[in-house]
Structures are given as structure tokens and as C-alpha cells.
Amino acid sequence: MAFTFFFRDTHTIEHMVKQLVPEVAGRSRVRIWDAGCAYGPEPYTLAIILAENMGNFAFKNVYIDATDIDESGQFGTIIKDGQYTDEELGRIPPEIMSKYFIKAENRSGYSTLTDTIRNRVQYQTHDLLSLKPIGGGFSLILCKNVLLHFQYAERIEVIKMFHTALTPGGLFASEQTQKMPEECAHLFTQVVPDAQLFRKVG
């Protein structure tokens, strides 16, 4: 199973949220694609931070599509159930834990996300190398700890696919170690100097 945990790389996620929230104010539907979501800690972390920065009414308009190739066949069930071990949740601040998690009644050592957060995230299996986006009109696409596993030419094509799936001015975020390929540089402008966060051009 993929290695990940809650509240990983919050520095980049907080940059995303700071840029995204003012831009989507008043929209009736805000689409986000987390490509390479593993079994859910990343999209749920994003959902929690968005909930903390948006009013309840606005947050209900957020729809996060979480995708992965999922060779384990378990990601969808885990994300739907929203149950995670105390160890997996160990990095979450106590005030966030008490607000968005409840102790699981049926599993010792597990906690369950509240419906407020779970209802915002939907999972589907998807292979990025198909180069077919799961849809369009995304205000934010994040693809972290995935592109490094692809060949350079494959990264270029996947990033171009993300560009087509974003709304005008939409945001794209990748892992800190993956710089934007020169072949894609004209498609995006970097938003902040200390994170791989970019805005769609054109």
C-alpha cells in the first residue's frame, strides 16, 4: 500500500488553499482533482484545511475527485469508510481531531472522519498514463509523489493533460522535488517561490 499520512506537506496545501479560496468565492461548484491519492490521507487533509478556511455553506460546494491506479483494490473502500488508525492520524493537531473525527465504535484503535468531510471526497480508479482526464473544469489539480515515478516524456504529457482539464487560471500543484519541465513552462506561471504551485496560462 502506498506510503502517505495525514497532514503531510501542509506547507504546499496551505498555499493551495490560500490561493484557491478567494478565487472560488460565490461559485456553486468547485471541482478539485487529487491525482494519485493513495488511500485517502491527502485528499482528506485538503478537505479539512478547506473546511477550516471556508464557511460551511461554501464548503458544501467543494467536490474532490480522488484517483489512483490502486493495484491493491482497497483504496475505494478505505476512502468511502473514512476510517484510519490512531498511528495514521498521529500528526493531526488535537483541535482538528476533536472537530473532524470520532472514535470508531466497531474498530478499536481507529477513528472515523465526520460526514462533513467524507461527503466531499469521491474515489475512482484512474491511470494517468492513459492521458485521458476524468473530466474538466477543475479549479485545482494536485499530483504529488506520482510524477517522479514516470519517465520525463510521460511527465510532460501528463502535465499537458492536467492543463486541459483546468479552468482558466486554475491551479496545479506537484511534489516539491519535481520541477516544471521546460516543455510545459509556457503553460503555467509559478504562484509562490517556495512551493511547486502553478497557475494555468491561457
Looking at residue 4, what is its pLDDT?
Answer: 77
- Averaged over 43-62, what is the pLDDT? 96
Looking at residue 72, what is its pLDDT?
Answer: 87
- Averaged over 7-30, what is the pLDDT? 95
**CA dist list (Å): 82 to 45, 85, 95, 119, 123:** 12, 10, 18, 10, 12
- Averaged over 24-40, what is the pLDDT? 96
Q: What is the pTM of this model?
A: 0.96
- For the packed helices 10-24 and 41-53, what is the interaxial angle rounded to 10 degrees? 50
Give the H or E element holding residue 163: helix 152-165
- Averaged over 47-70, what is the pLDDT? 96
Mean pLDDT, the chain, rounded, equals 95
pLDDT (tens digit, 9 = 90+) per residue, 78-107?
A: 999 999 999 999 999 999 999 999 999 889
- Averaged over 32-57, what is the pLDDT? 96
Percentage of the chain modeled with pLDDT above 90: 91
Looking at residue 3, what is its pLDDT?
Answer: 61
User: What's phi and psi for 10, nearest 5 deg?
Assistant: -65, -20
CA 167 to chain centre: 16
